[in-house]
Copies of this chain bind each other. A is one copy, B any other.
Amino acid sequence: MSLEHAILVSLMERAGSGYELARRFDRSIGYFWSASHQQIYRTLKRMADVGWVNQEVVYQNARPDKKVYRPSTEGQEALRAWISEETGEANTRATLAVKLRGASYGDTGALVDQFTHYRDAALRQLSVYREIEARDFPDAESLSGRALHQYLVLRAGILEEQTLAAWCSEVIARLTEVLKQPQNPEHARDEAQPADAR
């Protein structure tokens, strides 16, 4: 969900062409958010139409010309709003990862709230799984056949929610730790600039 925002985050870190973005999505961002080049080209076009990015054609002699995109003021505003906005159910982990990666361009405090919300949801789901485990698999050690298979699927759910909750806790701890330091305020103006504005 919301490839637009993932692209915005990437473009905030460094302006680039569709091709360059596609390569980034193959590497770092692609570990948790994949996108083909066709998808990126079309999304960039749409974003340019809406005014979230500015296009600049760069003419090259040895190589094909390229269109370099960078977030517009509206795009930066949209990203900022999206980061603070409540994160839906779909693809939550990947979405939160993108928001986290773009935290410098938004409100870190609001993001901490969302991680708290998501951690609570994970813990709730975990207790649901725990109840199913206690009710349906009291003697988990001695299972076989379909019951064992069902139990092992349940185990995946339990392990997953535990991991999710642990990750959220870690994120919350580290982000609040930084937020508390008055000499290093995350919300400072100079922190909200693109990385390539040097």
Give this chain's copy count.
2
Q: How far, in Å, is A123 (CB) from chain B's closest CB? A: 15
Indicate the member of A144, A171, A181 with the most B CB atoms within 10 Å: A144
Please give the distance in Å from A179's CB to the nearest CB on chain B.
10
Residues of chain B within 8 A of A166, CB atoms compared: 159
Chain B residue nearest in CB terms to A9: B149
Answer whether residue A103 sits at the interface, using C-beta atoms and an 8 A cutoff: yes
Measured between beta carbons, the chain B residues less than 8 angstroms from A152 are 100, 170-171, 174-175
Q: Are the C-beta atoms of A157 and B195 separated by less than 8 Å?
A: no
Interface size class of A (residues with CB under 8 A): 35 or more
Nearest-CB distance from A113 to chain B (Å)?
16
A97 interface residue per 8 A CB criterion: yes
- Is A59 an interface position by the 8 A CB rule? no
Taking CB atoms, residues of chain B closer than 8 Å to A153 are: 32, 97, 100-101
Q: Which residues of B contact A162 (CB under 8 A)?
A: 163
Q: Which residue of chain B has the shortest Cβ distance to A96 in the bound complex?
A: B156
Residues of B within 8 A of A157 (CB): 31-32
Q: Is A120 an interface residue (CB 8 A)?
A: no
Give the nearest-CB partner of A195 in chain B.
B146
Within 8 A of B (CB), among A140-182: 143-146, 148-150, 152-153, 155-157, 159-160, 162-163, 166-167, 170-171, 174-175, 178, 181
Residues on A lying within 8 angstroms of B by beta carbon are: 13, 31-32, 93, 97, 100-104, 129, 143-146, 148-150, 152-153, 155-157, 159-160, 162-163, 166-167, 170-171, 174-175, 178, 181, 184, 186, 191, 195
Q: Which 3 A-B pairs have the closest CB atoms?
A: A163-B163, A103-B149, A97-B153
A-B contact pairs, 7 of them (CB 8 A): A32-B156, A97-B153, A100-B152, A103-B149, A145-B186, A146-B195, A148-B175
